[in-house]
Amino acid sequence: MSVFPQLSTNPEVREHLRNVYTNNELVCECGADEADLVFEALLCCLSHPPLFTCLRASTHLHSLQDIQLRLQQHLAQQERSPSVYTHPQLPDVLLLPVHGPRPVDPLASEVIVGAQCGNAVLRGAHVFTPGILSTPKYMKVGEVVSVFSDVEGKCTRGAKEFKGKKVFLGNGISEVDRSEIFSSDGPGKGVAIRMTEPLYQSPSFDGVLTDQLFLQNLPSVVVGHVLGPRPGERILDMCAAPGGKTTHIASLMGNQGTVVALEKIRSKMEKIIQNAKMLQLDCIKAYCCNSVHAVSSDPAQCSADGPPYPEESFDRILLDAPCSGLGQRPNMSYSWSLKEVCSYQPLQRKLFTTAVRLLKRGGVLVYSTCTVTLAENEEQVAWALKTFPCLTLEPQVPLLGSEGMSGAGLSHDQRRLLQRFRPELAWRGAGVPHSPESLLQNANADTIGFFIAKFIKR
């Protein structure tokens, strides 16, 4: 059900996306009217949260059933008793339904938050002080307020009211005075508004069972299973921060073998180390490195302890590539220019070339993005197959998403080997689930937008 405006982008980006979703191949398959309707559904669904909150369980430490029970007990202590489902096809995933939109009426006192903060609130977060842009002039601790998202980024920090375009997110109770939020020392870091009546109800998981659960989008969990890591292997995660996929790979290996995680920003690399320690995974080795330069054919430059590595050093490689991020949900406003959106394809190809050089013969390379463009997904696959004759596409297990999109010149058989999560298709044929069974059937469909391709090096 659509309650928010469509994803807001600049006109050039919108037209670029429209051209992707109404390309000639697609129009020939489904007709121009249907292609337009699917595109409109895409813009609608991207501004709303997915149907489920997905939690990956640390099954290398505890059974899924034990973790499920502990989570249910924790939620009961919060005086909340949402259902906690196991995923029918993924043995390490717990699902919590996101309830919404709920019948919540806005109040006179308004707090305005930035778009990024607003997106987090829709996924179950409370409002933290740095995310607040505007509050009533005399807001005090304990005041009940309505929270709105500034979707166009036009609210001035410290304002006492805002008349621009805003979207209602729910009601909450202030835990700080206005003066603490906009003090001369800068904003604090704690919770400022505790959400008591969110428009979309989902439990907050800040600090909850941190060694047993990892908050992760469902397609991101699927990537680890598609890669298929085995105990004792040497595996590379090329763009690894914040470490969700890295730690999942290590968990699937039973913490046996080596997972090398590369990240070019040191603070993000340190976050990978922190997550590995928290999840008790000591087979992970993280390095601060630009993965484009992670390979060398000169033995004198290579080290046994870190990058660069000799060619054919890894059994499996995950390239979860930097991308335009147009599949992320919820997202009501996308501020990037068309030039920025189109800037990722060359970088992705440099990283892919490095990955092919580092992969052993017979090894597996998985390429993934969290965007919806053809240029960063199917077109990259077509380029890779043409550029590297040693690569062939492989079937994916599990296969929970749709096949690849038309428009990049791939054959139907090739597209069937790809996996694209397309929430717009679930929205295009949206019905209201009435039972747990029908609800779970939508778990694989109503996700973020995501793409996965699996190659083997012959």
Q: Which residues are annotated as a binding site?
A: 239-245, 263, 298, 320
The catalytically annotated residue of 283, 289, 370, 390 is 370
Contact between residue 433 and residue 342 where contact means Cβ atoms under 8 Å apart: no
Nearest to 59 by CA among 205, 290, 255: 255
Backbone φ/ψ region at 384: left (φ over 0), alpha (ψ -120 to 50), beta: alpha
Single-letter amino acid, residue 13 = V
Q: What residues form DSSP beta bridges with 93?
A: 56
**d(Cα 50, Cα 226) in Å, to the nearest integer?**
22
Helix, strand or coil for residue 104? coil
**d(Cα 338, Cα 14) in Å, to the nearest integer?**
9
Nearest to 119 by CA among 160, 153, 95, 79: 153
Active site residue 370: yes
Helix, strand or coil for residue 319? strand
Backbone φ/ψ region at 100: left (φ over 0), alpha (ψ -120 to 50), beta: left
**d(Cα 258, Cα 304) in Å, to the nearest integer?**
13
Element (H, E) at 357: helix 344-358
CA neighbours within 13 Å on the CB side: how many for 3? Answer: 16
H helices of 178-327, in order, are 178-181, 218-227, 244-252, 266-278
Cβ atoms within 10 A of the Cβ of 437, count? 9
In 289-390 the beta strands, taken as DSSP E runs, fall at 314-320, 359-369
**d(Cα 239, Cα 289) in Å, to the nearest integer?**
9
The annotated binding site for S-adenosyl-L-methionine is made up of: 239-245, 263, 298, 320
Q: Give the residue numbers marked as catalytic.
A: 370
